[in-house]
């Protein structure tokens, strides 16, 4: 599925704005794209960078690169400066970006607007310990102003969004309303919606929200972009009027604007908080027994009965949310810095991206009440094909869930288990995904999903056992024991001599006898042995354990190069090799299937086979995958080889050659990006944290 992605890359390069250079302080570095509001596949706003693009030098975009109208102005002593987006209304100059800092939850910009500095904090909460909080599809941004000359200044701030937030086709008609009270909230949606359907990766269902506290000096307006922005530039406030001429998104571009008069400013003001988000209900369509359909809603509805009450609680909680975010950022940074500061930098850029592909849902009972015993998480396979809960995309990201909250991991696996337990999936191996098009999770009853037989069967067993090891919760094993055993039996058939098939790295094509796939299969069999042991099936546990041990011994004869200096990519091809990242699972699960000598051998091989931007994925190409690079860093037995792998990924992520949200697939010779972007697999960058 990578040809369309490559085409998209090529097109966006042609359309990209002229990129500047980084003229500001970037901490820890200037990434390819800065996460602004990244909480769900549809609340996913980024600032594309290339060699450096200030907050007011381009429009924010969806992860795809399509523009999300989002503009900001500030008036200082009557002079207007633009600080967000690239609007072209006259009589405003550009503020100057001084700095950009990102952490695991925040991107913070400082821009100078004449005698005043603005600090803009984009906070996408990561609240994995409270699943209601995590399921809220909202993000904060907050603006604080301070004089930079020690004097007092009159300051007003302004922001707006366009209706590009609700569709991938700007010729469609939107409508909107504004409610005022303690909070001013703009709500905008398509006049004609499509349930569970996307255009150009934008959802065509639900509403975007833009809100702020209705404190003294707050004003609002809806209307044509040029008109509303000029109103602020000329008057320093908005007219509190609604444009009810509902029209196409691109017809005299309606915008949904908010403004605050901060009055006279000297030292830093308390932050003025805005909320941006997108809610749809139902959120996901899910397959039940007998090809039934179930609607699933965001889990936040179990605590909030209206969107307005959710927004109210969310916006009023900003200072606490910021404190929680800072504590989370500090913990992640401290844990990751035990490895290296380069490692901490990569992790900080990866967390929002992974969780921003996920949505936590709940079903309703026949009486319409929420069934809080039925909470599942869905993940969009962003950018590569848009599948729902792709097993080999959850798998690389798995370390993030182990580190933050393994229950979210279980919730991602549950729909896959439940669906296959209904017996509708005809193949004996584990399914690739639970739906071809997010946010539909309607299975593959024809069995024609993208087959990755050993890959997905091994992944399910490994993830399930690691969840149980982290939590002690064996209910999943009892409930789905026969499925797990079915997959293990498939691995017993097909993992010592794997038939020609795809691995997760499908862009490289099929291959028979893949050494790394066999590793996964053998660890999968051993995992099933431990699963059997946990439910008291000692006979099966002993049988599978001895099969795994025997396969491992035989595998060494097939898998080593003839001079025994490295593992091959495929049996019998001594000139071939690759990243044997599946050995990571043996360390993660502490299964000790493979001897230390294999880990040492691979470590030694990689020490002399790195290009400028890391070790290639395998000998078929010079590209690599950042997730597998870091998984490999977590399994090598030398600190210097580990650090080379980590620093290569850090160097690529900071090299200024891309404008896409962090792409996991890149070229090791020159650090250029291949066709993927914004994929949740970067959760795999937490592989070393999951071992701590
Ligand atoms: C979740 O958000 C609420 C505000 O809605 C806050 O009071 C609570 O502390 C948060 N929970 C956690 C565990 O952070
Ligand atoms: C906007 O369109 C929706 C359908 O998407 C409809 O339910 C709603 O009533 C409309 N709102 C207004 C203000 O026209
Ligand atoms: C599920 O949601 C869709 C879209 O809103 C709706 O058309 C359908 O009637 C709902 N089905 C059930 C069973 O509630
Ligand atoms: C609630 O969900 C659980 C788990 O899926 C299910 O077993 C139970 O039957 C559901 N309850 C109702 C009342 O639908
Ligand atoms: C796979 O490897 C086995 C063991 O070396 C060998 O017998 C078989 O011919 C190989 N299959 C292919 C398609 O290369
Ligand atoms: C071990 O498991 C394999 C695969 O399921 C099976 O064929 C074999 O009969 C089992 N052996 C024993 C001793 O149970």
Domain boundary among 240, 255, 281: 281
What residues contact 253, with CB distance under 8 A and at least 6 apart? 69, 162, 163, 224, 225, 226
**Which residue range is the domain that position 581 belongs to?**
380-691
Residues 270 and 410 occupy one common structural domain: no
**Cβ atoms within 10 Å, residue 320:** 9
Residues 540 and 401 occupy one common structural domain: yes
**Cβ atoms within 10 Å, residue 519:** 27
Q: Which one-letter DSSP state was computed for residue 115?
A: T
pTM of the predicted structure, to 2 decimals: 0.96
Q: CATH number of the domain at 157, please.
A: 2.70.98
Residues 621 and 505 occupy one common structural domain: yes
Element spanning 273, H or E: strand 272-279
Sheet holding 93-94, edge to edge: 93-94, 79-84, 70-76, 153-162, 254-265, 218-224
- CA dist 621 and 616 (Å) reads 7
Show contacts of 185-188: CB within 8 Å, 24+ apart. 185/209, 185/210, 185/211, 185/308, 185/311, 186/161, 186/210, 186/211, 186/220, 186/222, 186/256, 186/257, 186/258, 187/307, 188/161, 188/163, 188/254, 188/256
Domain boundary among 281, 304, 331: 281
First-residue to last-residue Cα distance in the chain: 35
C-alpha 625 – ligand 5 centre gap (Å): 27
- pLDDT for the residue numbered 8: 39
Among 205, 192, 136, 194, which Cα is nearest to 165's? 205
The answer to whether the CB of 358 falls within 8 A of the CB of 42 is no
Tokens of 477: 């094993």
**Cβ atoms within 10 Å, residue 327:** 11
For 350-362, write each residue's pLDDT tens digit: 999 999 999 999 9
Stretches in the chain below the pLDDT threshold 50: 1-18
Alpha-carbon dihedral sign for residues 142, 146, 152, 157: negative
Q: Is residue 633 part of a domain?
A: yes
Cα Dmax for the chain: 81
C-alpha 489 – ligand 6 centre gap (Å): 9
Q: Is residue 416 part of a domain?
A: yes
Tokens of 118: 């603005």
Helix (H, G, I), strand (E, B) or coil at 148: coil
Number of the ligand 3 atom closest to the C-alpha atom of 196: 4
Q: Is residue 206 part of a domain?
A: yes
Give the HSE-up count for residue 192: Cα atoms under 13 Å, Cβ half-sphere. 7
Q: Is 75 in the pocket of ligand 1 (CB under 6 A)?
A: no
Burial 60-80, CB ≥16 within 10 A → b, else e: bbbbbbebbbbbbbbbbeebb
Q: Which one-letter DSSP state was computed for residue 145?
A: E
Helical axes 318-337 vs 341-355, angle rounded to 10°: 140
Closest-CA residue, ligand 3 atom 8, reads: 295
Q: Is residue 622 part of a domain?
A: yes
Q: Is residue 310 part of a domain?
A: no
- Look at the chain and report how many structural domains it folds into: 2
C-alpha 12 – ligand 6 centre gap (Å): 54
Domain boundary among 281, 313, 338: 281
For 416-469, write each residue's pLDDT tens digit: 999 999 999 999 999 999 999 999 999 999 999 999 999 999 999 999 999 999
Q: Is residue 469 part of a domain?
A: yes
- pLDDT for the residue numbered 21: 85
- pLDDT for the residue numbered 20: 65
Q: CATH number of the domain at 682, please.
A: 1.50.10.10
The answer to whether the CB of 689 falls within 8 A of the CB of 347 is yes
Q: Is 571 in the pocket of ligand 5 (CB under 6 A)?
A: yes
Closest-CA residue, ligand 5 atom 3, reads: 497
Q: Is residue 361 part of a domain?
A: no
Q: Is residue 684 part of a domain?
A: yes
């Amino acid at each position: 599925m990578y040809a369309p992605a490559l085409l998209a890359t090529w097109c966006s390069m042609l359309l990209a704005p002229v990129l500047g250079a980084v003229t500001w302080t970037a901490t820890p570095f200037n990434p390819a794209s800065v996460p602004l509001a990244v909480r769900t596949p549809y609340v996913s706003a980024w600032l594309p960078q290339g060699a450096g693009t200030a907050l007011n030098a381009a429009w924010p975009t969806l992860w795809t690169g399509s523009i999300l109208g989002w503009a900001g102005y500030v008036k200082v002593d009557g002079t207007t400066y633009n600080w967000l987006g690239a609007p072209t209304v006259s009589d405003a100059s550009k503020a100057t970006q001084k700095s950009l800092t990102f952490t695991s939850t925040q991107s913070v910009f400082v821009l100078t607007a004449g005698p005043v500095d603005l600090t803009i904090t984009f906070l996408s909460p990561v609240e994995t310990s409270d699943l209601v909080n995590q399921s809220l599809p909202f993000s904060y941004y907050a603006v604080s102003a301070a004089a930079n000359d020690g004097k007092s200044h009159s300051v007003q701030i302004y922001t707006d969004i366009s209706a590009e937030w609700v569709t991938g086709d700007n010729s469609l008609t939107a409508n909107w309303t504004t409610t005022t009270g303690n909070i001013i909230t703009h709500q905008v949606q398509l006049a004609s919606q499509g349930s569970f359907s996307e255009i150009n990766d934008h959802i065509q269902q639900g509403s975007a929200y833009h809100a702020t506290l209705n404190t003294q000096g707050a004003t609002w307006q809806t209307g044509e972009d040029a008109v509303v922005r000029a109103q602020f530039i000329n008057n320093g406030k908005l007219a509190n009027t609604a444009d009810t001429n509902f029209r196409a998104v691109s017809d005299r571009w309606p915008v949904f604007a908010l403004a605050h008069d901060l009055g006279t400013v000297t030292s830093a003001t308390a932050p003025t908080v805005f909320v941006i988000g997108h809610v749809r209900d139902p959120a996901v369509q899910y397959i039940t027994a007998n090809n039934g359909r179930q609607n699933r809603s965001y889990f936040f509805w179990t605590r909030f009965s209206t969107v307005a009450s959710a927004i109210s609680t969310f916006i009023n909680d900003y200072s606490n949310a910021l404190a929680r975010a800072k504590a989370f950022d500090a913990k992640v940074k401290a844990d990751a810095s035990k490895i290296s500061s380069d490692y901490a930098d990569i992790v900080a850029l990866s967390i929002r991206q992974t969780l921003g592909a996920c949505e936590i849902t709940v079903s309703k009972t026949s009486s319409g009440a929420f069934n809080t015993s039925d909470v599942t998480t869905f993940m969009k396979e962003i950018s590569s094909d848009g599948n729902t809960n792709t097993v080999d995309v959850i798998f690389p990201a798995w370390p993030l869930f182990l580190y933050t909250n393994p229950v979210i991991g279980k919730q991602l696996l549950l729909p896959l288990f439940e669906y296959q337990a209904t017996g509708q999936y005809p193949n004996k191996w584990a399914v690739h995904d639970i739906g071809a098009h997010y946010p539909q999770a309607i299975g593959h009853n024809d069995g024609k999903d993208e087959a990755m037989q050993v890959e997905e069967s091994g992944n399910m067993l490994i993830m399930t056992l690691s969840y149980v090891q982290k939590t002690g919760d064996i209910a999943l094993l009892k409930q789905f024991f026969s499925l797990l055993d079915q997959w293990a039996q498939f691995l017993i058939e097909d993992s010592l001599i794997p038939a020609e098939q795809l691995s997760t790295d499908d862009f490289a094509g099929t291959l028979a006898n893949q050494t790394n796939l066999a590793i996964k299969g053998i660890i999968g069999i051993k995992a099933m042995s431990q699963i059997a042991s946990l439910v008291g099936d000692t006979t099966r546990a002993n049988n599978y354990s001895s099969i795994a041990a025997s396969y491992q011994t035989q595998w060494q004869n097939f898998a080593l190069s003839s001079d025994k200096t490295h593992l091959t990519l495929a049996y019998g091809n001594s000139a071939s090799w690759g990243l044997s990242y599946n050995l990571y699972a043996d360390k993660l699960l502490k299964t000790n299937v493979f001897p230390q000598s294999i880990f040492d051998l691979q470590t030694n091989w990689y020490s002399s086979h790195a290009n400028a931007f890391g070790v290639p994925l395998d000998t078929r190409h010079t590209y690599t995958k950042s997730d597998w690079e870091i998984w490999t860093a977590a399994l090598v037995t030398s600190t210097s080889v580990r650090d080379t792998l980590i620093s290569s990924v850090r160097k690529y992520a900071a090299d200024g050659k891309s404008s896409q949200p962090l792409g996991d697939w890149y070229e090791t010779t020159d650090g250029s990006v291949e066709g993927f972007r914004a994929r949740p697999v970067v959760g795999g960058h937490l592989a070393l944290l999951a071992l701590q």
